[in-house]
Each structure stands twice: as C-alpha cells, then as structure tokens.
C-alpha cells in the first residue's frame, strides 16, 4: 500500500512539474521577445538608417546589429526570431466609420521545428502563451485587426507569435 501511495504521489508531482516547465518556458519566450524588442528600439533610435523596412526585415537573416544591445548575442541563422512587417487596422479617430491601415514592424518567435537548428515548442508552452496573449500583447499573425470587437491574439494552434515593435 505504501508503494502504491508513493507511486501516485510521484505521478502527481510529474504532472505538476510538467506544467511548471511549460509555464517557465512560455515566460522565457515572452522575456526574450521583450529583450530583443528593447534592443531593436535602441538600435533604431541610434541608427536612423535602420528605419528602412529592408533593414528591419534583413535582421532575420543577419541579426548581428542588435548584438551590442543584448546580453546574449544572436547567432546568424541559429535563432528563432522573426523580423516581419505587418498591417494594423484601426478605427479612424476622426470618423468611426472609417478604417486606417498602417504598416507595423513585428518581432516574432518561431514555435515550429526548423531543420536541425531547433525543436518545435511543446503544446503546453503554446497553451501557456495563448493564456497570456491578451495581457502581454502577443499576436498570432502579421495582420492585426483592432477594428472589430475581437483582436487576433495568439492562439495555441499558431506556429508563430508576434509583438509590435513600431
């Protein structure tokens, strides 16, 4: 009986540990996104030439301009970060019947496996990211529609997660 009770308790502890691990990894992804976003904003401020869209999207293949602003440098071709341009739709403040579309720069994080570089993010981590999406500002795609009642926040089925940089 004692062995059975110990087995049940060990099983319960493994479940709790798995959920804690997923929560910790989701927090790490959010923290990494915020750190790279801060580095990107500093880079954009110090390098007005970096305000070109081609410079922004070029960071995906060569993120080294951001390395002087980060504690841990991004290695060319071995990072999960995505530097994309997207569209944000908002309601015109002067006329609520009109919609304004603007181009935004998005920093993303690739959650799927990419060859031998890294493994896919576990579904528990994605569920954790989805539960925090609205409070943190995580979006599931490069088109962000804020005109309707619901915003396209990240959902656990999405393969990429984005935050707005500019």
Distance of CA 86 to the CA centre of its chain: 14
φ, ψ of residue 79 in degrees (nearest 5): -135, 160
β-strands 99-110, 81-91: how paired?
antiparallel
Going residue by residue through the chain, which has 166 residues, state the pLDDT in tens, using 9 for 90 and above.
888 888 888 887 777 666 778 888 999 999 999 999 999 999 988 888 767 888 888 888 889 889 999 998 988 878 889 999 999 998 888 888 888 999 999 999 999 877 666 788 888 889 999 999 989 999 998 888 888 777 888 888 888 999 999 8
pLDDT of residue 17: 64
Q: Mind listing the pLDDT tens digit for each residue in 70-118?
A: 998 988 878 889 999 999 998 888 888 888 999 999 999 999 877 666 7
Choose among 164, 56, 67: nearest CA to 107: 164
Compute CA distances 29 → 47, 54, 88, 107, whole Å.
Answer: 26, 25, 23, 12
**E strand segments, the chain:** 81-91, 99-110, 143-145, 160-164
């Amino acid at each position: 009986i004692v062995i059975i009770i110990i087995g049940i308790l060990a099983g319960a502890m493994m479940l709790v540990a798995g959920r804690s691990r997923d929560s910790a990894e989701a927090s790490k992804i959010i923290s990494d996104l915020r750190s790279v976003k801060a580095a990107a904003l500093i880079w954009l401020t110090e390098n007005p030439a970096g305000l070109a869209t081609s410079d922004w999207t070029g960071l995906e293949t060569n993120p080294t301009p951001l390395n002087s602003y980060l504690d841990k440098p991004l290695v060319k071709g071995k990072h999960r970060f995505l530097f994309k341009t997207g569209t944000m739709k908002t309601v015109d403040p002067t006329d609520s019947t009109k919609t304004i579309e603007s181009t935004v720069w998005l920093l993303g994080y690739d959650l799927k496996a990419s060859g031998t570089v890294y493994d896919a993010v576990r579904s528990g981590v994605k569920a954790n990211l989805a539960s925090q999406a609205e409070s943190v500002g995580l979006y599931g795609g490069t088109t962000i529609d804020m005109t309707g009642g619901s915003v396209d926040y990240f959902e656990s089925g999405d393969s990429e997660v984005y935050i707005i940089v500019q």
